[in-house]
Amino acid sequence: MAAFAFDIDGVLKHGKSHILPGANRVLNVLSGRTPEVLAQKVPFLLMTNGGGQTEDERLKALEGDFGVQFSKNQLVQSHTPLQDYVSEYRDKPVLVCGGEGDAARSVAHSYGLKQAYLLQDLVAWRGNVWDRYHLTAAEESFVRRDIDFSNIPFSAIFVIHDAGLDWALATQVITELLNSDGGRMGTQRQRKKGVPDGKEIPLILTNPDFIWPTDYPVPRFGMGAFRTGLDAVYKELTGCDLPYTQFGKPHTTTYKFAESMLRRHLADIGGNPADPLSGEPADPADNPASDIAGANAYGWVSLLVRTGVYAGGEPAHRPTQIVDNVEDGVMWALKREGLV
């Protein structure tokens, strides 16, 4: 059974609205809408280090982009694997950061987290948490003002996206909570500089990409760049490396989760979810450092396209095949499986 896990940025799209050539065609082919090209449906999903909105919202937008109907099992955003990870935090207070407006709270609620608080809630509680930050009128409309955060023991911090993330406010608050006494704002536990004490509340980051391609001529910083800055500040303050758990490509947890989603989708389209996925779904992608490294490590076929971050030459991680664009990649993989 052939299967595909498509990267989005640099493969199917550039930036917010530019659809790359061939993207609509291949998704329609795999969806079984062009029987003259391919007589069967082939399971596929979209797997991106992007995020910052609920999966339902993103799927709706993607359906508009590509003119294809997707099922809920066909999208893995950087934070989607948290659905299976966050159950232990269901009834505990957590800080969720990133995404436009209060998107982080919507995402957290959609994963079943009942006490999800935002950076803006902390500014509303006490402006001097970071007095460089001023709430906008829109933020005033959604912040929680009924909480005394000096009594809230945060149990974890989730950074779900870098859009809408004020790096300075986030750096200040995350560093404070990692050094706090029991996850309480306004506290600082005793610790020896340069000696990790293992008492930090968990910090979970969901997108390791340092740069990503947009419709601007030079790639832009992603959440990986935010982490680099946070790490440097944390190290300067504590003498220790930033403790964190990373989701998103190239990390294996994300591929494992994507494989389980492909199997659920295979069942949706009438296949047997226990069928071997040829051992190796194909992963058309543009970023050698995240996509190709991750697919190779997980034993998938890695297809490096020339339409995104990769600018030619010897890639940092060697893919199974380099192709000009997503359509060439899909046709190459379908031929390899004997399907066209």
Interacting residues with Mg ion (CB under 5 A): 7, 9-10, 286-287
CB of residue 209 to Mg ion, shortest distance in Å:
8
CB of residue 10 to Mg ion, shortest distance in Å:
4
Asked if omega into 81 is within 30° of 0 (cis), the reply is no
CB of residue 285 to Mg ion, shortest distance in Å:
6
CB of residue 287 to Mg ion, shortest distance in Å:
5
3-state helix, strand, coil in the chain (%, to 5): 35, 15, 50
CB of residue 337 to Mg ion, shortest distance in Å:
24
In the chain, the amino acid numbered 66 is F
Give 14 or 105: the residue with its C-beta nearer to Mg ion.
Answer: 14
Helix (H) and strand (E) counts for the chain? 10, 15
In the chain, the amino acid numbered 9 is D
Give 77 or 287: the residue with its C-beta nearer to Mg ion.
Answer: 287
CB environment 58-67: b (16+ within 10 A), e (fewer)? bbeebeebbe
CB atoms within 10 A of CB 246: 18
Torsion sign, CA atoms 217, 62, 2, 78: positive
Give 6 or 244: the residue with its C-beta nearer to Mg ion.
Answer: 6
Give 10 or 315: the residue with its C-beta nearer to Mg ion.
Answer: 10
Distance CA 11, CA 271 (A): 27
Q: Of 240, 241, 244, which is closest to residue 194 (Cα–Cα)?
A: 240
CA distances from 277 to 230, 265, 290, 313 (A): 39, 12, 22, 31
CB of residue 215 to Mg ion, shortest distance in Å:
13
Q: Which residue is nearest to Mg ion (CB)?
A: 10
Torsion of CA 260, 96, 291, 14, to 10 degrees: 110
Give 54 or 287: the residue with its C-beta nearer to Mg ion.
Answer: 287
Give 169 or 295: the residue with its C-beta nearer to Mg ion.
Answer: 295
Give 43 or 248: the residue with its C-beta nearer to Mg ion.
Answer: 248
CB of residue 210 to Mg ion, shortest distance in Å:
12
Burial class of residue 80 (count of CB atoms within 10 Å of its CB; 0-12, 13-18, 19+): buried
